[in-house]
């Protein structure tokens, strides 16, 4: 028996391999949020328009979300480690380009390229871990660490960005990626092995193009209408985007090997979990972005002080993500889903108490309370999605869960951020399209500055109110429609993250 235990125990190579894999995972998560506190300095240095500022933030998330499933399929066919190495190298090169981008257009382009590379990393990293930890119990523990690292990356991104900006220029938030990239490329060939599967079918290129074009054109229309008003260009782009998404949906229903298995949404538990993967990320990203502007441009905090203000919420989110699997084992997934929406809604509603002249305490309270809900949702969504479907469809389910997270992260800024921009355009002094642009105009009177700050706070409040209402609605829906016996821990074990789906497809090790 002792010999059997020893044979299944992971060795030093496995744990070192896990540590190496966590580097790119942390970078992918952090780069989804690291610019939230940096946007004020980027706006001063590059003077982007309102639409460009949103795209600087969103291009990364939309590229990741649009291509995540496609690259998961490509990795299955051609090799996960090969794709992981290539993606990490491109990610590093794009990070260097973004750091020295001379204008907003090139910064957006490099951010998009970082997103394309980032889409190769998550599914490939999970599959590679399945080779390092063949024993299910140890693998579950490793994926729990993986999931906590990913959630922590989202949470600490703004804090890390703020700390760097306190001593360096805005490009330093991208150069931070390079040492991790170099270390991974040096150690991965030694510690990791190739993983591939004998998947049937092929990657449907038209589906990839339709999903990416549909998402980008639809969001472009929303952004432009909010920033510049309703004109022919955004209306036409929005119409084309909606048609593309409709075509994509119909194509998935007819393909023998669809990019996304839409039939999974017939299960209400799966649907609620997938939507929960999207909505909390949308609320979190929007409030982190708008909150960074509020702390610096409205209240006048330095970037370092703003980073410190964000720290309690980030700490609560990370700790909650780690301890949630053990709590879910006792209370069940249904209670976790309901409570996560209650906490997030309560935290968002606390933002309504912030004002132009003060509100740091209310902001911290908001991030701490909402952080409890975010941590719960990040921890339980993937397990629930995978447990809700048959084992042979677990791979598709896990891919949808990961995609919903990335799309939610980008949609929060795109939709709620655009809503706040629209409110500012309608209620602001009319000097410029954003608060930061307005404050850079010379010779403004105190009254104009006050009106601009008040309009921004109103936009922040409306975005928080809408986000809170959506979470209340989803929480009520979960209360009424999730079965009381629903629990992911019965099937996957606590803390398994997206393991079940990716392990089901991991295939043979070469």
**Per-residue pLDDT at 494 exceeds 70:** no
More confident residue, 430 or 508: 430
Spatial separation of the C-alpha atoms in residues 325 and 256, rounded to whole Å = 36
pLDDT (tens digit per residue) in 442-479? 888 989 999 999 999 999 999 999 999 999 999 999 88
Amino acid 390: pLDDT: 66
pLDDT > 70 in the chain, percent: 81
Amino acid 475: pLDDT: 92
**Per-residue pLDDT at 229 exceeds 80:** no
SS (H, E, C) 49-76: CHHHHHHHHHHHHHHHHHHHHHHHHHHH
Q: Using pLDDT thresholds of 50, 70 and 90, give the confidence band for residue 201.
A: low
Q: Using pLDDT thresholds of 50, 70 and 90, give the confidence band for residue 284.
A: confident
**Per-residue pLDDT at 246 exceeds 50:** yes
Q: Using pLDDT thresholds of 50, 70 and 90, give the confidence band for residue 144.
A: low
pLDDT > 90 in the chain, percent: 18
Amino acid 488: pLDDT: 42
pLDDT (tens digit per residue) in 330-365? 888 888 899 999 999 999 999 999 999 888 999 999
By C-alpha distance, which of 211, 165, 171 is closest to 67? 211
What average pLDDT does the structure give for the chain? 79
pLDDT (mean) for 16-30: 81
Q: Using pLDDT thresholds of 50, 70 and 90, give the confidence band for residue 49.
A: confident
Q: Using pLDDT thresholds of 50, 70 and 90, give the confidence band for residue 244.
A: very high
Amino acid 391: pLDDT: 55
The residues with which 196 forms a beta bridge, in sequence order, are 508
Spatial separation of the C-alpha atoms in residues 339 and 343, rounded to whole Å = 6
More confident residue, 397 or 498: 397
**Per-residue pLDDT at 187 exceeds 80:** yes
- Lowest mean pLDDT: which of 72-81, 105-114, 234-243, 501-510? 501-510
pLDDT (mean) for 179-188: 88
**Per-residue pLDDT at 418 exceeds 50:** yes
**Per-residue pLDDT at 497 exceeds 60:** no
**Per-residue pLDDT at 121 exceeds 60:** yes
Q: Using pLDDT thresholds of 50, 70 and 90, give the confidence band for residue 172.
A: confident
The one-character DSSP state at 445 is -
pLDDT (mean) for 270-291: 87
pLDDT (tens digit per residue) in 252-268? 888 877 777 777 788 78
More confident residue, 399 or 419: 419
Amino acid 505: pLDDT: 36
Amino acid 452: pLDDT: 92
Spatial separation of the C-alpha atoms in residues 310 and 288, rounded to whole Å = 9
**Per-residue pLDDT at 126 exceeds 50:** yes
Amino acid 487: pLDDT: 43
Amino acid 508: pLDDT: 34
- Lowest mean pLDDT: which of 178-187, 298-307, 396-405? 396-405
The sign of the dihedral angle between the CA atoms of 459, 465, 466, 468 is positive
Amino acid 503: pLDDT: 34
**Per-residue pLDDT at 507 exceeds 60:** no
Distances (CA, A) of 298 to 172, 255, 311: 24, 51, 19
**Per-residue pLDDT at 486 exceeds 60:** no
The residues with which 509 forms a beta bridge, in sequence order, are 195
| DSSP characters over 453-491 | HHHHHHHHHHHHHHHHHHHHHHHHHHHHHS-TT--STTT
**Per-residue pLDDT at 249 exceeds 80:** yes
Q: Kindly report the pTM of this predicted structure.
A: 0.73
Amino acid 93: pLDDT: 93
Amino acid 108: pLDDT: 92
SS (H, E, C) 136-198: HHHHHHHHHHHHHHHHHHHHHHHHHHHHHHCCCCCCHHHHCHHHHHHHHHHHHHHHCCCEECC
């Amino acid at each position: 028996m002792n010999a059997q235990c020893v044979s299944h125990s992971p060795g030093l190579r496995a744990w070192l391999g896990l540590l190496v894999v966590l580097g790119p995972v942390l970078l992918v998560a952090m780069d989804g949020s690291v610019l939230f506190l940096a946007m004020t300095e980027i706006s001063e240095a590059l003077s982007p328009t309102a639409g460009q500022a949103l795209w600087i933030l969103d291009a990364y998330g939309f590229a990741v979300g649009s291509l995540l499933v496609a690259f998961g399929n490509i990795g299955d066919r051609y090799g996960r480690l090969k794709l992981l190495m290539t993606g990490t190298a491109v990610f590093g090169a794009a990070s260097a380009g973004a750091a020295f981008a001379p204008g907003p257009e090139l910064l957006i382009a490099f951010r998009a390229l970082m997103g394309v590379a980032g889409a190769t990393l998550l599914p490939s990293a999970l599959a590679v871990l399945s080779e390092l930890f063949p024993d299910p119990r140890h693998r579950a523990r490793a994926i729990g660490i993986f999931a906590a690292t990913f959630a922590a990356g989202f949470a600490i991104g703004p804090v890390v960005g703020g700390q760097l900006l306190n001593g360096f220029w805005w490009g330093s938030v991208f150069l931070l990626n390079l040492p991790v990239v170099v270390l991974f490329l040096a150690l991965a060939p030694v510690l990791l092995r190739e993983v591939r599967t004998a998947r049937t079918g092929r990657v449907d290129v038209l589906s990839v193009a339709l999903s990416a074009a549909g998402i980008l054109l639809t969001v472009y229309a929303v952004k432009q209408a909010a920033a510049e008003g309703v004109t022919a260009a955004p209306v036409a782009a929005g119409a084309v985007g909606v048609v593309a998404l409709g075509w994509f949906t119909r194509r998935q229903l007819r393909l023998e090997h669809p990019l996304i298995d839409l039939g999974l949404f017939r299960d209400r538990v799966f649907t609620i979990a997938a939507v929960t993967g999207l909505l909390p990320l949308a609320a979190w990203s929007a409030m982190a972005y708008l909150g960074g502007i509020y702390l610096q441009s409205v209240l006048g905090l330095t970037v370092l002080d703003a980073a410190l203000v964000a720290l309690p919420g980030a700490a609560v989110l990370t700790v909650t993500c780690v301890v949630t699997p053990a709590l879910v084992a006792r209370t069940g997934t249904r209670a976790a889903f309901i409570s996560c929406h209650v906490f997030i809604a309560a935290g968002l509603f606390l933002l309504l108490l912030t004002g132009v002249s003060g509100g740091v305490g209310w902001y911290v309270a908001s991030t701490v309370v909402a952080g409890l809900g975010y941590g719960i949702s990040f921890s339980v969504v993937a397990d629930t999605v995978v447990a809700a479907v048959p084992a042979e469809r677990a791979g598709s389910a896990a891919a949808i869960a990961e995609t919903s997270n990335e799309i939610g992260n980008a949609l929060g800024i795109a939709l709620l951020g655009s809503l706040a921009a629209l409110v500012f355009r309608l209620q602001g002094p009319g000097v410029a399209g954003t608060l930061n642009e307005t404050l850079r105009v010379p010779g403004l009177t105190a009254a104009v500055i006050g009106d601009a700050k008040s309009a921004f706070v109103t936009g922040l409040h409306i975005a928080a109110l809408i986000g809170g209402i959506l979470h209340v609605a989803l929480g009520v829906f979960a209360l009424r429609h999730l079965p009381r016996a629903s629990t992911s821990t019965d099937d996957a074990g606590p803390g398994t993250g997206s393991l079940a789906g990716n392990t089901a497809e991991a295939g043979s090790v070469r």
